[in-house]
Amino acid sequence: MFKKLSIGRDGAQAQARGADAEQRALDYLRRQGLRLVARNYRVARGPSARGGEVDLILWARDGTLVFVEVRSREQDAHGGAAASVTRAKQRKVIFAAECFLLTLAKMPPCRFDVVAIDGDRIEWLQGAFDVPAEH
């Protein structure tokens, strides 16, 4: 009568791959001089029925607060990892970033980056997307 909801083996494997990709991205960004502020910053759904998450939030050496979306693809049959950051995903990241910024006393300069991991290749796309003007 009732179905038990759980993360299946495929879902658990996908979560593990995602966590591994985020760790690889974090290690890479730390080597570039960025400092971790928060990891997997989540905002629950609110009255607007949307939530969001930022994979990594880091400080750059120049004082810029960097919100990072990490994407990983084993194969690029459906496009590379960077191509999977849709406009809808960008909106969710921006929403979570706005909520995070409300916790700060002073508004720092900000940037939205993507770290795309395609197999063994890591690509850091700085300023990958912006807050839309109509926002």
pLDDT along the chain (135 residues), means of 10: 52 82 97 98 74 95 98 68 82 94 96 93 94 74
The rounded distance, in Å, linking the Cα atoms of 56 and 65 is 10
67 secondary structure, DSSP code: E
Closest CA relative to residue 20, chosen from 87, 71, 76: 71
Residue 41's pLDDT is 96
What is the number of helices (H) and of strands (E) in the chain?
A: 2, 5
Which CA distances in Å does 34 have to 15, 17, 27, 28, 30? 25, 23, 10, 9, 5
Which residue has tokens 């179905």?
A: 3
Residue 114's pLDDT is 96
One-letter amino acid for residue 70 of the chain: V
- Based on the number of CB atoms within 10 Å of its own CB, is 25 exposed (0-12), middle (13-18) or buried (19 or more)? buried
Residue 15's pLDDT is 80
9-129 is classed CATH 3.40.1350.10: yes
Cα dihedral 27, 123, 91, 104 in deg (nearest 10) = 40
Residue 79's pLDDT is 61
Residue 23's pLDDT is 97
The rounded distance, in Å, linking the Cα atoms of 120 and 79 is 16
Residue 76's pLDDT is 57
Residue 7's pLDDT is 52
The rounded distance, in Å, linking the Cα atoms of 51 and 115 is 21
